Chains A and B, each alone.
Chain A
């Protein structure tokens, strides 16, 4: 009986200690820093970045469509070029972001028109802004934090509220691995607080130096049920890219 009582007391002490440790851990977690770390992990400030993204989109009642885009990024100048390589019909179309201006180039007309980073790529679930560097820390405030588990991973769940009205989504719920600052899931909400899109960052990564790039993403439309896009990343290059890629003349000659 004494032994049982001692064991019980020990169990309570251990439970309290673990709880206190968890609470202390939670209390000491710097979520701002975590958000910044997520941004850092996929931002290439000193180098340029290029990769090929294959986007397979599915819509109810339609055959899957494939879009291939090549991305060129120069993060320290906030420049991005998105060049559509497939389908053949759209080949050569592209987006060029210089500072706050986003231009869309159509090789058929040879004209540029103003666009935005909120545009979807060729009717897929992927938006231009999904290809730019992450700016969660700059654009969002953390309004709520939770702990959770997704698959085999212990996670932090951060609810983010937009600091400005220029980002695509007013609210984001970001599920991040606890062991490293890598997002596993991103739930995007409308201004009216309705789930609009969920991005699953499948846990396969391309490691480039100290950077970790999710190799596959699944974007699920939560409004138009059954619509989704799967993005597969390949041909990742991190290093110095020629200046020519970030000029209008590149898009004009790229077809």
Chain B
């Protein structure tokens, strides 16, 4: 206890030095915590935004193979799929059944590429809630030919609500087709992928794709949160493979993700009837996870490099401290303080520096993250995909923070250890004789 008091008193005696040393530690931990917080929210924000764009967290797609070997995306009868989902107990907030195509939208000699999703607006109530219109709105979708596009597309084509446009596209078997659409609404730019997406009535999209009215191409299960996505995805796959033909899941190598691997399977295999692909948003976003791994590794490297630099500073400072206090150490040793206690005194000082620095760093990081998350980047920000409702969010993983704190404490103690050991080894008589 006396040692702790002494350590605290020593630290308070040299306030400026203590402040600088703890500040260096705080700066390092602050940088790393902010990076960790950003990375922590990065995945969930991207996943949530993609879930909104892709209309679900778990997906089933049907693939039919023509006699000439061509693949057609189609789900004709979903009773087996829904039975499997029910058996697994997927807690779906919404079930989406969509058809879609990529096409060229043409208006007065101007063209733009976009993907048009056929949506059953009566069933998919969450989509109208999510769309932010700059003009027009959902009321225009009562027109069979209604089309919702984003602002960048509208600007590029110079179209307004009510204008009629043509869309050149291909049917589900790849035949050329043309559709008439009426612009029903223009939404704010939802960022990279969303800006190239449009929404139309599924019945009309099916007609253009040459699909039966009840058929569609992608079944999506929209979960209440990202939690359990993989568990339910795997369970659905296991359940469905007992009932229908399903592409093998989880055979991807390093070069390809599961979804791409299943697509490659479809090219190699032959089958009759419809074969299904079951995948989750995480399967689609494996590359994002790789980015996260890289960012995590980078933050760990930054932490270690920063603290190696800080360690040099701490070691030098403690050497100076030892030199400054050499007569004091001699006095303490001569009145009975043991070597271990001298060493302990130095190590306590280092520990308090580390604890103070870490606490200050985390507090500063929280202040910065709080401040940044208050800033509204808007729904049309190019950063949309990593934002949550236009705000940058942070999620600091607890275990990762504990890990960082342990590393910082260990490195600080290691930095102080050798000066502390040297101080402990000082001969009291020699120390007392030393003239500074």
Contact = CB atoms under 8 A, between A and B. Distances in A.
B168 interface: yes
Contacts of B173: 165-166
Nearest to A117: B174
Contacts of A223: 106, 166, 168, 178
A118 interface: yes
A194 B166 CA distance: 11
A101 B175 CA distance: 17
A224 B175 contact: no
Interface stretch (A11-19, A148-156, A167-175): A167-175
Contacts of B178: 190, 192, 194, 196, 223
A61 interface: yes
Contacts of A226: 109
B168 A191 contact: no
A167 B175 contact: yes
B10 to A, nearest CB: 63
A41 to B, nearest CB: 25
B371 to A, nearest CB: 43
A168 B267 contact: no
Contact of A166 (B66, B111, B168, B179): B66
B203 to A, nearest CB: 14
Given A166-B66, A166-B70, A224 B106 contact: yes
Nearest to A99: B69
Contacts of A225: 109
A191 B174 contact: no
Contacts of B267: 114
A224 B111 contact: yes
B89 to A, nearest CB: 38
State which size class the interface on A falls in: 20 to 34
A188 interface: yes
A169 B111 contact: no
A209 interface: no
Nearest to A101: B69
Contacts of A165: 171, 173-175, 210
A192 B111 CA distance: 20
B342 interface: no
Given A165-B171, A224-B111, A225-B109, A192 B166 contact: no
Nearest to A119: B174
B174 A166 contact: yes
Contacts of B66: 166
Interface string B160-172: 0000001010110
Interface in B114-129: none
B419 to A, nearest CB: 56
10 contacts: A61-B110, A116-B70, A118-B170, A165-B174, A165-B175, A166-B68, A168-B176, A192-B178, A223-B106, A223-B168
Interface of B: 66, 68-70, 104, 106, 109-111, 166, 168, 170-171, 173-179, 208, 210, 267
Interface of A: 60-61, 100-101, 114, 116, 118, 162, 165-170, 188, 190-192, 194, 196, 223-226
